[in-house]
Structure 1
Amino acid sequence: MTNTPRLACPNRRFRADVLSGLSLPQKRLSAKYFYDAAGSRLFDEITELEEYYPTRTELGIMTAHATEMAARCGPRCLLIELGAGSLTKVRLLLDRLDRPAGYAPVDVSGEHLRAAATALAADYPALDVAPVVADFTSPFDLPPVSAARRVVYFPGSTIGNFDPHEADALLRRVARMVGSGGGLLLGVDLRKDPAVLERAYNDAAGVTAAFNHNLLVRINRELGTDFDPAMFRHRAFYNHELSRIEMHLVSTTAQRVRVGSAAFDFRAGESIHTENSYKYAVPEFAARAAACGLRLDETWTDDQNYFAVLYLTAR
């Protein structure tokens, strides 16, 4: 799991997505609904777990190479961060940018974003910080900032949460957003020993399990459903064929759940698929990005080749 697009939208859309997802042969719930206030706090806890290598590995790469990354972004750039969350990693970049024209963190969790943006603006008084409350998987308006170049910053391997056709659509949207010569600084989780991957999503303290279960808690609270989270167990495993971690909530017994007037029956052992996290090889991802109008210019990785930060330029 990563910092997926955070959605805090009207209940009508939420209800429609839950109903359609539970009606599928393989029941699904969208990972974008993980991030209510409790889910955001749990995700922040996950990033500090010993088993969860992506955050500290990416931070290590950023610490070692942020000066080079800032040079790629160039002077007077407008930095646009997608799924901005707590605005932690971006500080390494902001400290090294040459006279940035502005910083636009984008997130749909408005309260969380505004609080983080206020704190960051206090630490960077000369920087024009313009938070954008939006679901970045759909079109949104950017602040009217005059800049030499637009650069999208998309850390945390969130790109892996998108199915391949969705990832392609997002890459094409970013290429259009930044325009010819604009950039994308992107975190990508790489293929590795499946045991390392599975430990990262099945931590011993059970924080990831709590994060997964909290999705049902949120649905109950906001939609008035009658899920019993205790009747579902967390399961995460590596799907070798599709090169992805899958997260599921598995029904421990035969049960019926109501969403308004609709009822959904579960067999014992039947699951709700809640998240995917695709893992890539850099050449494969570069070819995918090229087909979407983005040329890979530079790659930074850690010593174990667990994670990569890529700089791509829109053609």
Structure 2
Amino acid sequence: MARAQKEIPARFLYDQRGSELFEQITGLDEYYLTRTEIGLIEAHGAEIGGHVGRGLTLVEFGSGSSAKTPPFLRAIGAAAYVPIDISAGFLTQAAADVRAAVPGLSVHPLAGDFTKALTLPADVADTPKLGFFPGSTIGNMTAAEAVDLLRAFRETLGKNAPLVIGIDLKKSADILEPAYDDSRGVTAEFITGILRRLRDDLGADLRREDWSYRSFWNADRGRIEMHVRADVDTSIALGEDRWTIAAGETLHISNSHKYSVEESAILARASGFQQVKCWTDPDALFSLQLWRMLPEDLSW
């Protein structure tokens, strides 16, 4: 935390409690993303199945909710499912939920960091695959980070596997800002959970009551920014290190970048994919996109 703008990577939010809080966020009134994406899956899942073919192994990067993934698995007629998540406890529950919702489906959970290329379970290694990355998680990364991630997906999936990806679209700040600062304070608890992890998991000396949550739409950078803000002059001590933080100073925890349909097509190409189809809701809040892999010599 030596930079002028102190930062802590958002991946540290996702312990068991963090994963549970995020699942709560997806059901909030202000958080339009999940229900809009589920509507797109329900409306267009069969069409996606027609594009990619039935009987594939669905590889989901970040194990999905029981509300979103089973309808998609059924719509495309998947033969097997590989949920990947860094939180082993949450992954176990998600896999159990899917088994219950889609009886007879072969489920092979894989605990790991999907930002790097992974080896898929041997039982599905030679099967045709479809990548699935819903929920606009791609927006949590800078463009460069997103390209690196998507190229890791290519390696994990193997040659010629298509990808279905959720990408949130640019829209009014009046819609965006409440989605990341809900009236019940669940998002605030989720993001300020970084302080809980510093204190409880790493033994940091800090006063939780010195901090609050702040988020805002940064139009210049096309993203929602999420911070924890010091309300008074305070400090964080970790081992032999101590950081003094002035009142009003923030720790930058997470971003949620938004794209236009055209910008997402550029992101696909830079990552070695081509945008084949893009489905949006009537209000153009969110998009569900089908990408196909380009040969290496055609990618940037």
- Shorter-chain TM range is over 0.9
Deviation of the 1:153 alpha carbon: 0.2
Which of these residues, 55, 61, 70, is aligned with residue 82 of structure 1? 61
* Contact preservation (8 Å) 1:149, 1:178: no
Instruction: Kindly indicate whether residue 215 of structure 2 is the aligned counterpart of residue 236 of structure 1.
Output: yes
| Aligned pairs for 1:1-315 within 5 A | 22-98=1-77, 100-144=78-122, 145=124, 148-315=127-294
CA distance in 2, matches of 1:123, 1:41: 20
Unmatched tracts of structure 2, length 5 or more: 295-300
Deviations 1:211-250 (A, max 9, x none): 1111111221110112222211111001111100000111
What is the SS of the residue equivalent to 2:108? Answer: coil
* Contact preservation (8 Å) 2:85, 2:110: yes
* Contact preservation (8 Å) 1:149, 1:182: yes
Q: State the identity %.
A: 38
CA distance in 1, matches of 2:56, 2:284: 29
CA distance in 1, matches of 2:40, 2:129: 22
CA distance in 1, matches of 2:81, 2:178: 35
What is the SS of the residue equivalent to 2:83? Answer: strand
Deviation of the 1:23 alpha carbon: 2.2
Tell me the TM-score normalised to structure 2 length: 0.93
Unmatched tracts of structure 1, length 5 or more: 1-21
Deviation of the 1:290 alpha carbon: 1.1
What is the SS of the residue equivalent to 1:275? Answer: strand
Amino acid paired to 1:130: H
* Contact preservation (8 Å) 1:85, 1:107: no
Q: Which residue of 1 aligns with 2:297?
A: none
Deviations 1:55-101 (A, max 9, x none): 11111111111111222231221110001143431111111223x34
Query: Which has the larger displacement, 33-42 or 48-57?
Result: 33-42
Q: Which residue of 2 aligns with 1:19?
A: none
Deviations 1:190-220 (A, max 9, x none): 0000121111111111111111111111221
What is the SS of the residue equivalent to 2:107? Answer: coil
CA distance in 1, matches of 2:279, 2:128: 22
Amino acid paired to 1:314: M
Q: Which residue of 2 aligns with 1:17?
A: none
Computed over aligned residues only, the root mean square deviation of the Cα atoms, in angstroms, reads: 1.4
Tell me the TM-score normalised to structure 1 length: 0.89
* Contact preservation (8 Å) 1:86, 1:112: no
What is the SS of the residue equivalent to 1:202? Answer: coil
Query: Which has the larger displacement, 68-77 or 101-110?
Result: 68-77
* Contact preservation (8 Å) 2:117, 2:156: no
What is the SS of the residue equivalent to 1:95? Answer: helix
* Contact preservation (8 Å) 1:247, 1:275: yes
What is the SS of the residue equivalent to 2:282? Answer: coil
CA distance in 1, matches of 2:199, 2:269: 42
